[in-house]
Amino acid sequence: MLVGVIGKPNVGKSTFFAAATMKEVQIADYPFTTIEPNVGVGYLTTDCVCRELGLTDNPRNSICMDGVRMIPVKLVDVAGLVEGAASGRGRGNQFLDELRQADALIQVVDASGSTDSEGRRAPAGSNDPVADVVMVEREFDMWIFGLLKRDWEKNARLSEQAGGKTAESVASRLSGLSVSAVDVEESALKLGLKLDKPTSWTDEQILQFATHLRSSTKPSLIAANKSDLPTSAAGIERLKATGRRVIPCASEAELLLRRAAERGLVKYRPGDGEFKVVSEQSLSQAQASALRTVDERVMKPFGGTGVQRAINEAYFSLLNAVVVFPVEDENKMTDKNGNVLPDAFVMKGGSTALDLARTVHSQLAEGFLYAIDARTKKRVAADYVLRNRDVLKIVSTR
């Protein structure tokens, strides 16, 4: 699964990405700092099962930090998007192409309203963050619309003459966007559009259809960034009033805290609602003052920086993902080398025990017999739907 970071230029996408992945990337106060996409590994966090089971674990594919399991997940940060991007303005279509593979999107917004519609610096509070969200969504929709419109009439006539298969033909035109024929059918049904009569669809209907497909196949949430600035409070309220999923976010503060934690200056885990200074004496005056500001403007009013929360919600709320712990010995909760709770896998919502087997090893899936719930020692079948924090042993002939 892949989450894309999207938004207008200069809103803090790369700062969000850098904080989440600790990768060094270019960050600057002007539009189009990012040209080529940054791909990196961030973490999804969930309560580890080690404490509940009274175990000291030795994770292999993930990290356990004081009872919080951190599982690597892929993130991609792309160039900023401006009005007209769908028809090639700015970095245009190319970066939209880079988001094809994304399963969900985090739209970073400058909630403080201190950048204009093109991402140039502007007086704080002068720009409406809701307008930015609408622009970004519209460009995405126009891009899908453009893909659909290419040869629409010709393809529509052909599929009418052939009697059906319109859903397949539409899905194939959006290939790479992970849109299936079923997604196409669902969107058409919801909008009352006749798939057996595509020649009758107006441009307006095709655009509505593009919007529906975008929101159903690329679910998104809003990271209302720069929440540390005074004008952000109003921006966050406006964004929330649209009914969208909004998470107040302070990417710069998260980046500062993670770097300080890495250097041993503070105790802070991604997602924590507070941090502790390890020793006041080891901080320079500037560091102490920066940390105080983060505490006053971010941690106290918002209960956290929001970066980790945005990633977790993208997986858990938008994609209904679950984290599952496969083990080979369901009594000791270990792998064959005796590592306790070695792995944690992120699985799409609705995945089954057989899907888990496939993720662990294709041979395990080929010889799949059943799985054992390590907590209850009960057997579950191939079609058992995984639940968050399941600990399972897969029993296979291979």
Ligand X SMILES: Nc1nc2c(ncn2[C@@H]2O[C@H](COP(=O)(O)OP(=O)(O)OP(=O)(O)O)[C@@H](O)[C@H]2O)c(=O)[nH]1
- Give the interface with ligand X as residue ranges (CB under 6 A): 7, 9-15, 27-29, 31-34, 79-80, 225-226, 228-229, 250-252
Strand 322-327 and strand 345-347: pairing?
A: antiparallel
Q: How far is the CB of 9 from ligand X (least distance, A)?
A: 4
Check: CB of residue 59 under 8 Å from CB of residue 66.
no
> Smallest distance, Å, CB 75 to Mg ion?
13
E-strand spans in 202-308?
A: 220-225, 246-248, 266-267, 276-277
Q: Which is nearer to Mg ion, 34 or 351 (CB)?
A: 34
To Mg ion, the closest distance from the beta carbon of 150 in angstroms equals: 30
Rounded Cα distance between 13 and 324, Å, is 30
Name which of 11 and 221 has its Cβ closer to ligand X: 11
* Binding site partner of 155, from Mg ion, ligand X, none, Cβ cut-off 5-8 A by kind: none
DSSP 281: G
Give min distance, CB of 298 to ligand X, in A: 8
Question: By rule CB under 5 A, what count of residues binds Mg ion?
Answer: 4
| Nearest distance from C-beta of residue 238 to ligand X, angstroms | 18
Instruction: Give the β-pairing of 104-110 and 38-47.
Output: unpaired
Q: For residues 38 and 187, which CB has a smaller minimum distance to ligand X in the complex?
A: 38
Structure tokens at 128: 């409406």
* Nearest CA among 118, 56, 105, 47 for reference residue 77: 105
- Convert residues 179-218 into a mask of x (bound to Mg ion by CB under 5 A) and - (unbound): ----------------------------------------
* Stated length of the chain: 398
71 vs 291 by CB, closer to ligand X: 291
User: Is 199 or 289 the residue whose CB approaches ligand X more closely?
Assistant: 289
C-beta separation of 83 from 135 below 8 A:
yes
Tokens of 334: 């270990």
7-66: contacts with Mg ion (CB under 5 A): 13-14, 33-34
How far apart CA 12 and CA 8 sit, in angstroms, is: 9
